[in-house]
Amino acid sequence: MKLKGRVAIVTGAGRGIGRAIAITLAREGANIVVNDIDLQAAEETVKIIKAMGYEALAIKADVSNKNEVDSMIKKTLEAFGRIDILVNNAGIFSSTLIENITEQQWNRIMDVNLKGVLLCSQAVIKTMKNQRFGKIVNITSLAGKVGGIFSGADYAASKAGVICLTKSLAKQLAPYGINVNAIAPGVIETDMTKYWPKEVKESFLKQIPLGRFGKPEEVAEVVLFLVSDASNYITGEIIDVNGGYLMD
Ligand SMILES: NC(=O)c1ccc[n+]([C@@H]2O[C@H](COP(=O)([O-])OP(=O)(O)OC[C@H]3O[C@@H](n4cnc5c(N)ncnc54)[C@H](O)[C@@H]3O)[C@@H](O)[C@H]2O)c1
C-alpha cells in the first residue's frame, strides 16, 4: 500500500473523476474525506469505500464558501488528526457562447473552479507546514491550456487560472515539503461530458491519437502517482491525460 496512514481530502468526490480518485487513494490505504456539495452523492462514495474495507468520511461543503471549507478542515482534523493530501477536483462546466456568458455565470464558474482551489489550499497549508509534508493535486483541464473548444471561455479561463495558481503554490510551498501539481484531463467519460452533442464528441475523437475518451480511473491513477512518494521530486508540473490530443 502506497498511502498507508495518510489522510486525503478529495473535493467533488460524490461522482465522476473525484469518486474514482477517492476509491483509488483508499485502496492504497489512505483515510479519505469525501467532499461534495451534494451530501447524498458523497455518502454514496463513502459507502463504496467502506464496502471495500477502507475508512472514509463524507463532508458536505461548497468549495467556494470559506466558512464551509474551514469547517471541513476542522472536521477532518477532529476525525483523523492530520491532512497529508488535498485533491482539488470539484468543478462545474460551461459551454456557453462568449457573448451569452452572464456576469453571474462568470462569477460562479470562477468561484467554484478557481477560488475553490485557493480556499481549500489555504485551509490546509498551516497543517501541512507543521507536518513539513503535504501533497496537493489540482484538476485543471485541456481547455485551460488551449482555450475553450466546445467548453466556454469562462470554464477555460478558470482552468487556466488553476494552472497558474498551481505553479505559484508550488513555488511558495516547496520550502515546507509540500508538493503541488496539476492534471489536465482531455475528454473523460463522466456526467460532465455525457450530454455533449454527438458531433462535438466525434470531432474530438478524430483528434485523439489513442482513438477514445478517457475513464475517470485513468485520471485517478495519475493522482495516485502525484500523491505518492514516487513523485517526491516533482512540483509545479501539469500532467496531460488526454489520449495524445495535445502533446506539449
Ligand atoms: N470530465 C471531463 O472530461 C473533464 C475534463 C477536464 C477536466 N475535468 C475536471 O475534472 C473535475 C471533475 O469532473 P467530472 O467530470 O468528474 O465532473 P462531474 O460533474 O461528474 O462531478 C463533479 C462533482 O463536483 C461536485 N461539485 C460541484 N460544485 C461543487 C462545489 N461548489 N463544492 C463541492 N463540490 C462540488 C458535484 O456535485 C459533482 O459530484 C472538474 O474539476 C472538471 O472540470 C473534467
Which stretches of the chain score pLDDT less than 50? none
pLDDT at 87: 99
Asked, for residue 18, whether it belongs to a domain, the answer is yes
Task: Please report whether residue 145 resides in a domain.
Answer: yes
Our mutation pick for probing the ligand 1 site, out of 11, 92, 150, counting the most ligand atoms within 8 A of Cβ, is: 92
Give the model's pLDDT for residue 149.
81
Please indicate, yes or no, if residue 247 is contained in any of the structural domains.
no
Q: Which amino acid is at 143?
A: A
Predicted local confidence at residue 65, as pLDDT? 99
Cβ neighbours, 10 Å, residue 108: 16
Quote the number of domains for the chain.
Answer: 1
User: Ligand 1 centre and the CA of 37: distance in Å?
Assistant: 11
Residue 1 placed within a domain: no
Give catalytic residue positions: 155
Nearest CA to ligand 1 atom 30: 62
Residue nearest to atom 2 of ligand 1 (CA): 188
Q: Is residue 43 part of a domain?
A: yes
Atom of ligand 1 minimally distant from the CA of 15? 39
56-113, pLDDT tens digit by residue?
999 999 999 999 999 999 999 999 999 999 999 999 999 999 999 999 999 999 999 9
Residue with the smallest CA separation from ligand 1 atom 24 is 12
Domain span including residue 226:
7-241
Q: Which helix (H) or strand (E) holds 116?
A: helix 116-131
Pocket of ligand 1 (CB under 6 A): 11-12, 14-18, 35-38, 41, 62-64, 89-92, 112, 139, 141, 185, 187-188, 190-193
CA 65 to chain centre: 17
* pTM (global) more than 0.85: yes
Substitution candidate for ligand 1 out of 9, 11, 15, 17 with most atoms within 8 A of CB: 17
Tell me the Ramachandran region of residue 12: left when phi exceeds 0, alpha when psi lies from -120 to 50, beta otherwise: left
List the CATH number of the domain containing 48: 3.40.50.720
Residue 56: inside a domain, yes or no? yes
Q: Are 95 and 152 in contact (CB under 8 A)?
A: yes
With respect to residue 23, please indicate whether it lies within any of the assigned structural domains.
yes
